[in-house]
């Protein structure tokens, strides 16, 4: 199994030094995280947060509230989240109907007590695959994994946890296996590590990375190989 030069906590400490302490995530509970996925079509978390907060404040975040709010009002609330708010509304309606069918209380209980069963249910929601389900369980503090998004996965692959630039389910699982021995059961740390890796993949370790600005460069397999 591929291993990077340093323990994960050292890389995360350096990213915290660069970006500071990430803000506390805003959504709470599995349905709010599903809403969070669909309220915006932009990579900017601040804009997503703005749309989410407005929605929560104006109509609430229960499945019933989503379904009973008139369509023009919902479109107005979703519009600042980027193009095609109608498609995002359709996703939200679908998610709300499915959550009512399954039962929010049942999903909450499974998220708390049986992450494996919760994952099966969460994957029934459109747009929620294995990484999305893992992410919800991480942010609900019931599954101690890093659940990196595509940005975090790119950083981790380049550092040496997997094949650089690999993505997709196989790469996600392989990097997850390589990370497992390095992960503490400390949810505050895991959530911040997830957020910092995402931020690094968005800002510096992009498809074309800016390694000259990266504090991880001296101990990055990709950089040391001269792949830049």
Least separation in angstroms between residue 18's CB and ligand SF4 is: 10
- Count of residues engaged in binding ligand SF4, rule: CB under 6 A: 13
Cβ nearer to ligand SF4, comparing 92 with 196: 196
Least separation in angstroms between residue 145's CB and ligand SF4 is: 21
**Per-residue H/E/C for the chain:** CCCCCCCHHHHHHHHHHHHCCCCCCCCCCHHHHHHHHHCCCCCCHHHHHHHHHHHHHHCCCCHHHHHHCCHHHHHHHHHHHCCCHHHHHHHHHHHHHHHHHHCHHHHHHHHHHCHHHHHHHHCCCCCCCHHHHHHHHHHCCCCCCCCCCHHHHHHHHHHHHCCCCCCCHHHHHHHHHHHHHHCCCCHHHHHHHHHHHHHHHHHCCCCCCCHHHCCCHHHCHHHHCCCC
Least separation in angstroms between residue 201's CB and ligand SF4 is: 8
Q: Which of these segments, 2-10, 41-49, 101-109, 218-226, binds ligand SF4 (CB under 6 A)?
A: 218-226
Handedness of CA 144, 150, 155, 159 (dihedral sign): positive
Cβ nearer to ligand SF4, comparing 115 with 209: 209
Site string for ligand SF4, 54-83 (x = CB under 6 A): ------------------------------
Cβ nearer to ligand SF4, comparing 55 with 204: 204
Residue 209, interface with ligand SF4 (CB under 6 A)?
yes
Contact with ligand SF4 (CB under 6 A) among 33, 161, 172, 222: 222
Cβ nearer to ligand SF4, comparing 85 with 201: 201
Contact with ligand SF4 (CB under 6 A) among 155, 178, 191, 193: 155
Contact with ligand SF4 (CB under 6 A) among 133, 147, 193, 214: 214
Q: Residues 63, 91: contact at Cβ < 8 Å?
A: no
Contact residues: ligand SF4, CB under 6 A: 155, 158-159, 204-205, 209, 211, 214, 216-217, 220, 222-223
């Amino acid at each position: 199994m591929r291993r990077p030069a340093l323990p994960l906590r050292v890389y995360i400490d350096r990213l915290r030094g660069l970006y500071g302490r990430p803000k506390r995530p805003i959504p709470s509970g599995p349905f709010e995280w599903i809403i969070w996925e669909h309220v915006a079509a932009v990579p900017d978390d601040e804009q997503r947060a703005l749309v989410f907060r407005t929605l929560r404040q104006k109509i609430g975040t229960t499945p019933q509230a989503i379904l009973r709010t008139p369509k023009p009002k919902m479109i107005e609330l979703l519009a600042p989240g980027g193009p095609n708010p109608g498609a995002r509304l359709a996703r939200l309606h679908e998610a709300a109907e499915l959550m009512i069918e399954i039962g929010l209380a049942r999903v909450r209980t499974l998220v708390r007590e049986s992450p494996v069963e919760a994952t099966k249910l969460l994957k029934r929601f459109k747009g929620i695959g294995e990484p999305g389900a893992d992410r919800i369980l991480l942010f609900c503090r019931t599954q101690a994994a890093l659940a990196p998004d595509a940005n975090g996965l790119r950083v981790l692959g380049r550092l040496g946890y997997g094949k650089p630039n690999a993505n997709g389910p196989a790469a996600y699982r392989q990097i997850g296996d390589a990370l497992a021995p390095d992960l503490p059961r400390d949810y505050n740390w895991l959530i911040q590590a997830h957020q910092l890796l995402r931020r690094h993949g968005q800002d510096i370790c992009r498809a074309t990375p800016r390694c000259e600005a990266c504090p991880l460069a001296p101990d990055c397999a990709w950089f040391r190989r001269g792949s830049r």
